[in-house]
Structure 1
Amino acid sequence: MRRRILLVLGLALACAVWTTTLASGAGPSPGLSEGSKGLANGKFRYVALPSGKTTEVQVVDREGDVRRHMRINGSWGIPLVAYDGTAEGLFPNGRTLLLAQSLYDGQTLRTTTKFTLVDTRRMKVSRRIQLKGAFTFDALSRDGRYVYMIEYMSPEDPSSYRVRAYDLKGAGLLSKIVSDKRSWATDMRGLPIARVWKEGWAYTLYGANAKPFIHALDTQNVAAVCINLPWKTSPDRIFDYRLRVDGDGHLVVRGPNGRALAVIDRQSFKIISFVASP
């Protein structure tokens, strides 16, 4: 029997549409979707509604009817991967949903991080992942083999982090750091502003508290390229910027009014054109 989505699960969700879980002075994680907005995909929307010591996971249709649901122990949410509100975590086959914990345990970074994989057809937990250290979700490979994560290096400096890959076929957390082979640097800084996908590549605009760049993640081949943007500092309205792929296949940074501020060739990773003072 269908039932209407529960918009309120106690006082904890009184005004939730989506929430960002960040401690004061926190690092770059945009947090979790813990409300009715959730993650939309085709005919359905997937939501996580934590209340007290448990979380209600729901599959909701376009009319707002709950088709399937389950309750699991703990406080869980759907990962947000950028401050533009992009939520991810649904596997390409649509049958598995990854749920994450808040990066923070109280006011400090977690020392152990857990992820839960939910079978969205049977509404049962299919797998649990536990890692030593502080991690957040970043992306999934197209074949669902690799889960990409952001690893935070130090509780004293949560703005320093690096990308790791977790192999679901048995290898677990890969020892290699997913970084640009053209550079010796493996750590990154900056806030994830916007995300766009194209042909298995996850492109993320970073900036705000660092020189702006685009992180190009090849999710199929466990590789990455950092594209430095031509501005010495982050523009004032960078949180209103968005990434798009235009009709020619170029990667475009667009400003608040849709103006193309930088155009990048996705094959060479070179900047084709840009606005000097956006």
Structure 2
Amino acid sequence: MRTTRRELLAGALALATLPALSACAASQAEPAAAKPVSPPPPARTTGLAGTLYASTASGLVAVDLATGKQIREYGEAVPDAGWERLHQVKDGRLRVLDLPSGKVRREAPVSGTQVKVVSRAGELVAVGPPPGPRTSTLISLAGPDGGRDLRLGGNVEPEAFSTDGQVMYVLEYLPPDKPDRYRVRVLDLPSGTPKPLNTRDKKPVPEGKEEEMRGQGRQAVLDADAGVLYTLYTHQPDHLHTRDLIAGGDSAPGVHAFVHVLQLDQRWAYCLDLPQPFGLGPPKAHTLALSPDGRTLFVYDATSGRIAQADTTDLTVKRTAFGAKHTGEAYALADDQHLYLAAGTSLQLADPATLAPRGTWQLPGPARGLATLNGQLLAGAGDRVIALDEKGTQQAGIPVPGLRSLHHAAHP
């Protein structure tokens, strides 16, 4: 799943626990949170089967791949890792919706207006205010058994949960009322107190040695099985990693881009540096993808054409290669046989093991995302999603008006 930081897009976390929210309860009236689309007239089939989820100008939508017709509009909503449920805030209540039906499974009152982060199984949800300058932050935590509000000192944005739901990782923005940098903190949920993040060797980061990031969190991908969140950061002038600070470094190493690796269950973080020219071009021209087995991470900069392949076990860049240069927002997808890299109207193929080029296909419009279903490649291109065979020949085209990004394709 392609995930952005609201779109990837947080003082001290002085906490005051407020009265608990009422338990999440099944909606008695079962309100229709997702807007169904009027049944279309019979249409010829595309030869595909399944449901496509994409962001459009009107929010998240579901498209029936068999008929190519839009079947439901969900508005602003955040999925769980398995795309089984959506989470949205409407009229002061958090609603949990089944997919693809949009039926409300449960709902509960919350204090915030935006869903910030959902646990991997979708059981725990953090809701908060929109990003912006503030000196304190009110976060609502909700789950099947109820919820509570946390008042956090400082400017805080929830980032992720541990698998057991005992920890919430947050971004703390500094200074809170006029932020120009941020750092990752650990919030122990049972006690409601902040805890130090660990280094890669599982030692607590000493006070004053936490790295502060000033660049842009371009994109994040989650390895749900391993419990690791990979976030690509670009434009990092004068940045020192925690390891540099602990070692007594007093000057920046000149890194302009890196992947922040957050081990959610072991509470450690590490920065995987990327060589130049990564980070020098526009943030939207950068993207990353994870191999199906989670062992390899790929980073692509469309502006320079540079591709990096990193091992997620030892967290080192194993090889780099240059492909064609392109402008526009970049997207990447890896399966067992191919690495797909899209930007502008170009879709490049490379060998995922060697990064050797395998050809370039032209898209009928600007790239808007990539997905696979049953071995079938789907590509967003302009206001359409197209299905491509192994030779790059278009097998089907599905209009998606206002398409912004293709997210996920699911079995029927």
Using the size of structure 2 for normalisation, the TM-score is 0.50
Aligned residues: CA RMSD:
3.3
SS of equivalent residue, structure 1 residue 65: coil
Equivalent residue for 1:39, pick from 73, 79, 85: 79
Q: Residues of 2 paired with 1:64 and 1:36: CA distance?
A: 16
Deviation for aligned residue 1:209: 6.2
What does residue 66 of structure 1 align with? 103
What does residue 253 of structure 1 align with? 299
Q: Residues of 1 paired with 2:75 and 2:101: CA distance?
A: 13
Deviation for aligned residue 1:137: 1.0
- Pairing 1:102–2:130 present: yes
Deviation for aligned residue 1:171: 5.7
- Pairing 1:196–2:221 present: yes
Question: In the TM superposition, what are the counterparts of 1:1-278 in structure 2 within 5 Å?
Answer: 1-5=29-33, 17=59, 35-40=75-80, 41-49=82-90, 54-70=91-107, 72=109, 74-79=111-116, 89-104=117-132, 109-119=133-143, 121=144, 124=146, 126-155=147-176, 158-170=179-191, 172-174=193-195, 176-177=196-197, 186-198=211-223, 199-208=226-235, 210=237, 211-232=256-277, 234-247=279-292, 249-255=295-301, 261-275=307-321
SS of equivalent residue, structure 2 residue 165: coil
Q: Residues of 2 paired with 1:247 and 1:38: CA distance?
A: 22
Deviation for aligned residue 1:200: 1.3
Distance 1:46 1:158, change over 3 A: same
Distance 1:37 1:71, change over 3 A: same
Distance 1:157 1:265, change over 3 A: farther
Q: Residues of 1 paired with 2:77 and 2:271: CA distance?
A: 31
On the 8 A contact 1:92/1:144 being kept in 2, the answer is: no
On the 8 A contact 1:179/1:224 being kept in 2, the answer is: yes
Deviation for aligned residue 1:247: 4.9
SS of equivalent residue, structure 2 residue 59: coil
Using the size of structure 1 for normalisation, the TM-score is 0.71
Deviation for aligned residue 1:130: 1.4
Q: Which ranges of structure 1 fall in alignment gaps of 5 or more residues?
A: 8-14, 19-33, 80-88
Distance 1:116 1:186, change over 3 A: same
Deviation for aligned residue 1:268: 2.0
Aligned residues: 234
Deviation for aligned residue 1:59: 1.9
Larger relative contact order (Cα-Cα within 8 Å, sequence gap ≥ 6)? 2
Deviation for aligned residue 1:214: 0.5
Question: Quick one: which amino acid aligns to residue 110 of structure 1?
Answer: R
On the 8 A contact 1:178/1:186 being kept in 2, the answer is: no
Q: Which ranges of structure 2 fall in alignment gaps of 5 or more residues?
A: 1-28, 36-56, 61-73, 238-255, 326-412
SS of equivalent residue, structure 1 residue 158: coil
Distance 1:35 1:99, change over 3 A: farther
